[in-house]
Amino acid sequence: MFHLIRILSLLLFSSVVLTAEEDYALKRENMIRAIETDVVATSIYLDKKALDPRVMEAMNTVPRHALVPIRYRSKAYLNRPLPIGYGQTISQPYIVAIMTDLLNPQPEHKVLEVGTGSGYQAAIFSRLVQQVYTIEIIEELGMRATKDLAELGYDNIQVRISDGYYGWEQHAPFDGVIVTAAASHVPPPLIQQLKPGGRMIIPVGSSFLTQQLLLIVKDDEGNVTTRQILPVRFVPLTGSH
């Protein structure tokens, strides 16, 4: 009798777990549709009507719910930013998707992210490139992301706690650099640490006002060109620089 009750409760429990996972998968599908709609609506800025299928596949794979605070889990797949504590946010999925796509990530690439936050953007890149280096200035966020990413099994991401303005010289040069906080100017060390042929994506402008998302490309001779993509709103890049 005891065994029967145990088996029944195990069956009941596993079906509840499966339902929760199915529910998240369904919500993730809806998030993908919302991103696709936003991409079409902003295609004039992006110069395309759809993002790289590999990027969309990564967006449809990474468990965003596991990287947001528990109280926001039910909202994890809404196409909007969410608080992650310490006055910071996890970016809107559409923004994460277009920034990832603009970097044109390739399987052999090494990418540097400034602004780890929840670790979500780093997790997306980890599905698309060989190695991700990510820097967070708030120790508690950096430690939490390190733990969460390890628990989720992302083993090609290294998190460092420091001021990302100065990049990560030891692992430079990078094929791609992504800054997920708004800078008043493009940090020269990040340009320096970009490979010839590399790309950087960074929001630049005043804190808490609308900024411009910039795509910076370094050509094979080391010349840099900048393209304004679209207006965005990010928390500021802090630090003592």
Establish if 69 lies at the interface with ligand SAM (CB under 6 A).
Answer: no
Give me the 181-220 binding string for ligand SAM, x by CB under 6 A, dash otherwise.
Answer: x---------------------------------------
Establish if 141 lies at the interface with ligand SAM (CB under 6 A).
Answer: yes
Please, which residue, 121 or 126, has the CB nearer to ligand SAM? 121
- Applying CB under 6 A, among 32, 35, 90, 98 the residue interacting with ligand SAM is 90
Establish if 121 lies at the interface with ligand SAM (CB under 6 A).
Answer: yes
Beta-strand relationship, 194-204 and 211-218: antiparallel
Cα angle, residue 91 at apex, residues 103 and 191 outer, rounded to 5°: 35
| SS3 per-residue string spanning the chain | CHHHHHHHHHHHHHHHHHHHHHHHHHHHHHHHHHHHHHHHHCHHHHCCCCCCHHHHHHHCCCCHHHHCCHHHHHHCCCCCCEEEECCEEECCHHHHHHHHHHCCCCCCCEEEEECCCCCHHHHHHHCCCCEEEEEECCHHHHHHHHHHHHHCCCCCEEEEECCHHHCCHHHCCEEEEEECCEECCCCHHHHHCEEEEEEEEEEECCCCCCEEEEEEEECCCCCEEEEEEEEECCCECCCCC
Please, which residue, 126 or 180, has the CB nearer to ligand SAM? 180
Which residue, among 190, 187, 139, has the nearest Cα to 167 in the 3D structure? 190
Establish if 235 lies at the interface with ligand SAM (CB under 6 A).
Answer: yes
- Applying CB under 6 A, among 32, 59, 66, 138 the residue interacting with ligand SAM is 138
Choose the binding region for ligand SAM from 22-30, 69-77, 117-125, 151-159 (rule: CB under 6 A): 117-125
Please, which residue, 128 or 235, has the CB nearer to ligand SAM? 235
Choose the binding region for ligand SAM from 26-34, 82-90, 188-196, 213-221 (rule: CB under 6 A): 82-90
Residue 14 Cβ vs ligand SAM, minimum distance, rounded to whole Å: 31
Choose the binding region for ligand SAM from 46-54, 72-80, 158-166, 216-224 (rule: CB under 6 A): 158-166
- CA separation for the pair 223, 185 (Å, rounded): 18
Residue 223 Cβ vs ligand SAM, minimum distance, rounded to whole Å: 26
Residue 143 Cβ vs ligand SAM, minimum distance, rounded to whole Å: 12
Active site (catalytic) residues = 91
Residues that bind ligand SAM (CB under 6 A): 88-91, 114-115, 117-118, 120-121, 135-138, 141, 163-165, 180-181, 234-235, 237-239
